[in-house]
Amino acid sequence: MLKRLLIANRGEIARRIIRTCRRLGVETVAVYSNADLEAPFVAEADQAVRLGPAPARDSYLDAGKVLAVARESGADSVHPGYGFLSENAEFAEAVIAAGLVWVGPPASAIRAMGLKDAAKARMQAAGVPVTPGYQGESQSESRLQAEADRIGYPVLIKAVAGGGGKGMRKVDAAGEFAAALASCRREAASSFGDDRVLIETYVTRPRHIEVQVFADTHGNAVHLFERDCSLQRRHQKVIEEAPAPGMDAATRQSVCASAVKAALAVGYEGAGTIEFIADASDGLRADRIWFMEMNTRLQVEHPVTEAITGQDLVEWQLRIACGEPLPKRQDELAISGHAMEARLYAENPASGFLPSTGRLEHFRLPTGIRVDSAVEEGSEVTPFYDPMIAKLIAHADTREAAAAKLAQACREVEVWPVKTNAAFLARCLAEPDFVAARVDTGFIAGHLDRLAPEAMPSAAALKAVARARLTAETTDRPDGPWWALEGLRVNASPPCAVRLERAGVVQTIAVEPRTAGHLVAVLQSGDELVAFEHGEAFAFHDQRPDVHAGEVAADDEVASPMPGRVVGVQVSVGQVIAKGQPLLSVEAMKMEHVLVAPFDGLVAAVAVASGDQVTEGAALVRIERQT
């Protein structure tokens, strides 16, 4: 077994690797950026070394710095986690050249599967069915447009490098192609340093099915069954489960066999995921499931596979990297029960799922399930990295029980003042169509009105907040017979009235001083009272705030909805624009957000340029209304 492992990653995956290493007696070395100085994974590692400034390119993506730390710390091995350098063939080669053990696949396999166009061609040659589309060398806009026209709309533009839903755009009509291509290329270049794309036919009822594979250095390969990752928003996975609902034994055998064939075709070693897209318009059928791409690393959703197989996949990775054979034969692996994972993001569903940043003054996650968390109370959520702050994983005998268990866990999440998608996750898991397994990758978009409604506190929550406020006012009063009396009494005082303000609306709540309270958690945070109910957080003030405090930009200004970096400006001063026309693009937490014109008008001022860092609420473009 390895002696000292450097973890070239951060957050929850770093903590996850540390847990397995501690159990196996392997020392760990963490690397961190300035933004992660106080992160939990830094404290939990046996050693921790600072890499540099917060931006990933100056820290976690600097292969030279990471290797220097590995040498100076006495590490004998490197685990890349997922993201950052995990699928970087040059980094894998540099690790091996430095005399260290690389806990990952050979560089040749990373190269073979790292570019989606080359991977598809290789899979075709190996007899693995692939999605129809175009993955040619010609990357001119005119050629790509012509290929999209030939394939027929809708089509999907995908970056040939990377993953995680970045550099991916759906195009519904020919007239939308050029703008979508430009946006896709910018995001791909920013995320992966490669703006090349491929085009695929867009399956109208797609399900995202992926198979966990492992191969050792002795020519053996197995699968650990499939996962369904169809619940996505903007191509980002939200809820994953294993096994895939509706997958019969024959289809499972066919798909998993194709996955093993794909791994063997590239001389694979270690953990990998073969991703398939399924046309679910007629259920899951082997002849309607196509290879999409391979992720040559451990996946974020690996815990659901661990739950249904009882295996520690990080331990498998470490043992295979040491040259050991696969821990289990295929006939020793079986599915037990059903597991689901929900990704808890620091984002605000009420504002279009924009990222939310800040210090976690209050952070409570559920008990009774597996929780893989990147943060803890007091941690800072910054705009520099992915907004996922925790994964909640539930396992039960049946799919229905797992969904109910996980939904309840999401309802128990309490986070303040950073916003999260906990309530949104709970509603997804309880949505009747989801419970009935009527899912595809368009599920969230098709049910968004029910999954992300305007959140309102219940009457019981209002009572709980009012009672908390009343209790705070009366804590200095002595207990006595009159305050202790409950129920009907002669000449009883009327209920106390508490005035609460939330989102500019003042309500008067009547509450008895000693009535039984509702089971809603209430937090005192500065001059606010925060009620946590079903995963939502509602903040209240004692009185109406100063109307001049926190004024928003004038209605003719387009303001930045979050802190980030301007990555593209599509308009100029004096230009006549139409409502809905793209104005500029802001990148935050590795995702690009396009801001559009709120009405017809004339661009009167542009306050920023590409590359500028902006704060939340900063005025970016001023538009004069057209009369």
Q: How is domain 4-103 classified at the architecture level of CATH?
A: 3-Layer(aba) Sandwich (3.40)
CB 285 within 8 A of CB 226: no
CB 541 within 8 A of CB 528: yes
**Model confidence at 548: pLDDT above 50:** no
Q: For residue 514, what pLDDT is reported?
A: 53
pLDDT tens-digit readout, 143-198: 999 999 999 999 999 998 866 678 889 999 999 999 999 999 999 888 888 899 99
Neighbouring C-beta atoms of residue 264, cutoff 10 Å: 15
Q: Coil, helix or strand for 250?
A: helix
pLDDT tens-digit readout, 326-346: 999 999 999 999 999 999 999
Q: For residue 438, what pLDDT is reported?
A: 95
Residue among 458, 528, 541, 441 at smallest CA distance from 498: 541
Topology of domain 557-625, per CATH? OB fold (Dihydrolipoamide Acetyltransferase, E2P) (2.40.50)
Q: For residue 486, what pLDDT is reported?
A: 40
By the 10 Å C-beta count (0-12 exposed, 13-18 middle, 19+ buried), 497 is classed as: exposed
Q: For residue 555, what pLDDT is reported?
A: 55
The CA R_g of the chain, rounded to the nearest whole Å, is 26
Q: For residue 613, what pLDDT is reported?
A: 85
Q: Which CATH class is domain 132-201?
A: alpha beta
Q: For residue 190, what pLDDT is reported?
A: 85
**Model confidence at 236: pLDDT above 60:** yes
Round to whole Å and give the CA distance between 191 and 193. Answer: 6
pLDDT tens-digit readout, 398-434: 999 999 999 999 999 999 999 999 999 999 999 999 9
Round to whole Å and give the CA distance between 88 and 385. Answer: 18
Q: What is the mean pLDDT of residues 256-281?
A: 95
Q: Does 277 or 515 have the greater pLDDT score?
A: 277
Indicate the helix (H) or strand (E) that contains 610.
none
Q: Does 374 or 612 have the greater pLDDT score?
A: 374
CB 342 within 8 A of CB 392: yes
Q: What is the mean pLDDT of residues 444-463?
A: 90
**pLDDT-derived band at 470, boundaries 50, 70, 90:** confident
Q: For residue 177, what pLDDT is reported?
A: 96
Per DSSP bridges, beta strands 27-33 and 4-7 are parallel
Residue among 125, 126, 148, 149 at smallest CA distance from 135: 148
Q: Which residue has the tokens 């498998």?
A: 316
CB 242 within 8 A of CB 338: yes
Least confident of 40-44, 102-106, 499-503: 499-503
Indicate the helix (H) or strand (E) that contains 110.
helix 107-114
Neighbouring C-beta atoms of residue 548, cutoff 10 Å: 6
Strand ranges (DSSP E) for 465-570? 496-502, 505-511, 521-525, 528-533, 536-540, 557-559, 564-569
Structure tokens at 213: 């594979």
Round to whole Å and give the CA distance between 181 and 292. Answer: 20
For the whole prediction, is pTM greater than 0.85?
Answer: no
CA atoms within 13 A on the CB side of 16: 29
CB 584 within 8 A of CB 569: yes
Residues shown for the chain: 627
Average pLDDT, the chain: 89
Domain boundaries for CATH 3.40.50.20 within the chain: 4-103
Least confident of 222-231, 290-299, 407-416: 290-299
Tell me how many degrees the CA angle 498-504-508 measures, rounded to the nearest 5.
20
Domain boundaries for CATH 2.40.50.100 within the chain: 557-625
Q: For residue 167, what pLDDT is reported?
A: 87
pLDDT tens-digit readout, 27-73: 999 999 999 999 999 999 999 999 999 999 999 999 999 999 999 99
Terminal Cα distance for the chain, rounded: 74
- DSSP symbols for 173-228: SGGGHHHHHHHHHHHHHHHHS---EEEEE--SSEEEEEEEEEE-TTS-EEEEEEEE
**Model confidence at 517: pLDDT above 70:** no
Domain boundaries for CATH 3.30.470.20 within the chain: 206-451
Angle between helices 313-321 and 302-309 (to 10 degrees): 100
**pLDDT-derived band at 502, boundaries 50, 70, 90:** confident
Active site residues: 297
**pLDDT-derived band at 627, boundaries 50, 70, 90:** low
Domain boundaries for CATH 3.30.1490.20 within the chain: 132-201
Topology of domain 206-451, per CATH? D-amino Acid Aminotransferase; Chain A, domain 1 (3.30.470)
Q: For residue 621, what pLDDT is reported?
A: 92
Q: For residue 541, what pLDDT is reported?
A: 85
Q: Coil, helix or strand for 181?
A: helix
Round to whole Å and give the CA distance between 573 and 575. Answer: 6
CB 429 within 8 A of CB 342: yes
